[in-house]
Amino acid sequence: MRLILDAVVHSYDDLHALGPIDLEVDDGRIVAVVGPSGCGKSTLLAIAGGLIRPSAGRVAMAGDVPAGCLNPLTYVFQDFALLPWRSVAANVALPLEGRGLGRAERRARVADALDRTGLSDFAGALPRQLSGGMRQRVGIARALAVNPAVLLMDEPLSALDAQTRDLLMDDLVALHGRAPFSALYVTHNLAEAVRLAHRVVVLSRRPGRVRDVVDIDIAIADRARAAADLAVITDRLWQSIRDEAATADRELANVRS
Ligand SMILES: Nc1ncnc2c1ncn2[C@@H]1O[C@H](COP(=O)(O)OP(=O)(O)OP(=O)(O)O)[C@@H](O)[C@H]1O
């Protein structure tokens, strides 16, 4: 399925936060959105997911819903958003409840999601027994259990230390290699964007508009061996974002003082 944002604009009261923006996520593709603080990245994701109604423009899905899809647009949150009193398996089962699925199908979906994320041995563990990286794997497994058309990922790795982030990036690459998923992936981290995304969309400072679009033709699975090429792309992205980021930073500093 294709996610389409068509001339999307958003204002919070009289604050023009975003747009107009046109953006598409094609089937099986990962589109990263980067941009300076406060440029409207989270707002964009919330609009894509239907949590916020845009002030203007529209969000549409085109194409067939994937087989077994219970929720076409599914979030993966920065803070994992796990229920601490539920086991790993019960957290992954959460979005399957109240959907009229039989017990066997629920179990099969949970088992498959745990298997895909390497969590099968941790099904009975509680979130507090897991490292941050493992907790976010649970968040990803829970999202995969509904077989979404597009994952909406809001800084999914930013709460993790650098090493864990690298490991989880490898996990996402492997996951995509085994069964390509589509994602709109918001991040501050350019290294993450160039490692994981087929396309990187750079937003300007607020109101966020598309300032640059960079397609990365290196297969995601080959990127670990393409450090030099990725460094060139990262540099281009940084050139595109730097002045805007500095200005946005000064604006935020003014608001705070
Ligand atoms: N509920 C809200 N009410 C009013 N203003 C808001 C609200 N949510 C966000 N904003 C403002 O809208 C602008 C865009 O916010 P948003 O969180 O989408 O940006 P962002 O790019 O995700 O920011 P960051 O990079 O800091 O996470 C900011 O100026 C923010 O202060």
pLDDT for 37? 86
Give residues with Cβ within 8 angstroms of 82, minimum separation 6: 91, 127, 135, 138, 139, 142
Which one of 9, 12, 249 would you pick to mutate in the ligand 1 pocket, going by the greatest count of ligand atoms within 8 A of its CB? 12
Nearest CA to ligand 1 atom 30: 38
Q: What pLDDT, on the 0 to 100 scale, is given for residue 257?
A: 53
pLDDT of residue 179: 82
Tokens of 133: 């990286």
Percent of the chain with pLDDT over 90: 54
The Cα 44–Cα 18 span in angstroms is 7
Give the ligand 1 atom nearest the CA of 154. Answer: 22
Q: What is the pLDDT of residue 81?
A: 82
Q: Which residues line ligand 1 (CB under 6 A)?
A: 12, 15, 17, 35, 37-43, 206
Output the pLDDT for position 101.
Answer: 87
Tell me the whole-structure pTM to 2 decimals. Answer: 0.91
Tens of pLDDT, residue by residue over 233-256, are 999 899 888 877 777 677 766 665
Query: Residues 175, 117: contact at Cβ < 8 Å?
Result: yes
Residues (pLDDT < 50) of the chain are none
- Model confidence over 93-114: pLDDT tens digits? 999 998 888 899 999 999 999 9
Q: What does the pLDDT read at residue 107?
A: 93
- Tell me the HSE value of 120 on the side-chain side, using a 13 A CA sphere: 8
Closest ligand 1 atom to Cα of 39: 21
pLDDT value, residue 252: 64
